[in-house]
Amino acid sequence: MPDPVLEVQGLHKAFGDVVAVSDVSFSLARGGSLAIVGESGSGKTTVARMIVGLERPTAGTIRACGEDRSRPTASTRERRRRAREVQIVFQDPYSSLDPRQSVTRSLEEIVRFHRGGSASERAARVAELAELVGLDERQTRAMPQALSGGQRQRVAIARALAAEPQVLILDESVAALDVSIQAQVLNLLAEIRERTGVSYVLISHDLAVVRQLTEEAIVMRGGRVVEQGTTARVLDDPQDDYTRLLRASVPRPGWKPARRPRSSCN
Ligand SMILES: Nc1ncnc2c1ncn2[C@@H]1O[C@H](COP(=O)(O)OP(=O)(O)OP(=O)(O)O)[C@@H](O)[C@H]1O
């Protein structure tokens, strides 16, 4: 793959005797979208936590925008750079936001850290982010408790995008939402990718979501990759017995967003 935005090679993670991830390798194209699917406990979240830097790999390498991020760093400059490469949105919109901070303040804080600028420039960027995720002015001024689950997840997505990452990891990010809100957030995510050129790693056990949002997929089982290919091929013509089993719940074919690759990391 020419100039991938994310490259994972031989990734391995053991927690004591438990091998959570074993020899996982994949690449993500710039502006692309890759799904990681697999049953509960197959190692998906551990892969995501290693990519974002919340967990240290036992072995293997992770490169984003060509830069190694496999080892921890104490440097603020390096942490800031890494945060601009990869951000993550978790599943639970109820616990991921600080209840003492309004949406505006929580976005402004990240804009200040990553972009700086004057108060009016920061306010303009907060308004831009709110618009990108479809939050109106009242919702943007609100405290998180005053927002619904879907609105909170939009805030979590805006916070992740505030760092202007090249890669956004979505770890079951729509799983806690009810079906109609889930559809809205999925459409929003597709639109954001079109508008910003950000790349997605989508972790999901919901194959309808995977089909809607990704072009490539890997299937994990027991910490290993058992199948990988285009999402359409993996879902429609699975080669591995386990993928066939997963596919028992496969949804109707959905639409796929066009992708608009970015030309550079900076
Ligand atoms: N901090 C930890 N300490 C010990 N074991 C862990 C830790 N984190 C994960 N594991 C183990 O690693 C394995 C993979 O877990 P992981 O959460 O990555 O799976 P998953 O595919 O994301 O599952 P789910 O879909 O249920 O979230 C599991 O056996 C889990 O119990």
Domains of the chain: 4-96+167-249 (3.40.50.300)
ipTM: 0.96
- Distance between terminal CA atoms of the chain? 20
The backbone torsions φ and ψ at residue 116, rounded to the nearest 5 degrees and listed phi first, read: 65, -140
- Answer whether 42 contacts ligand 1 (Cβ < 6 A): yes
Largest CA distance in the chain: 57
Q: Per-residue confidence of the chain (266 residues) as pLDDT tens digits?
A: 668 999 999 999 999 999 999 999 999 999 999 999 998 899 999 999 999 999 999 999 999 999 999 888 888 888 888 988 999 998 876 777 889 999 999 999 999 998 888 999 999 999 999 999 999 999 999 999 999 988 998 999 999 999 999 999 999 888 877 888 888 889 989 999 999 999 999 999 888 889 999 999 999 999 999 999 999 999 989 888 888 887 775 544 554 544 555 545 65
94 vs 212: CA distance, rounded Å: 25
Best of 36, 44, 88 to mutate for ligand 1, by most ligand atoms within 8 A of CB?
A: 44
Residue in the block written with tokens 């956004």 = 168
Evaluate: CB of 44 within 6 angstroms of ligand 1: yes
Q: Which atom of ligand 1 is nearest to the CA of 223?
A: 14
Whose C-alpha lies nearest to ligand 1, atom 6?
Answer: 15
Q: How far apart (Å, rounded) are the C-alpha atoms in residues 51 and 67?
A: 12
Q: How many angstroms separate the alpha carbon of residue 192 from the centre of ligand 1?
A: 29
Residue nearest atom 8 of ligand 1, based on CA coordinates: 46
Q: How far is the CA of 20 from the centre of ligand 1 (A)?
A: 6
Tokens at 122, concatenated: 């920061």
Strand boundaries in the chain, DSSP class E: 6-15, 18-28, 33-38, 59-64, 67-68, 86-89, 167-171, 199-203, 216-221, 224-230
Which residue is listed with tokens 């003492």? 100
Q: How far is the CA of 167 from the centre of ligand 1 (A)?
A: 22
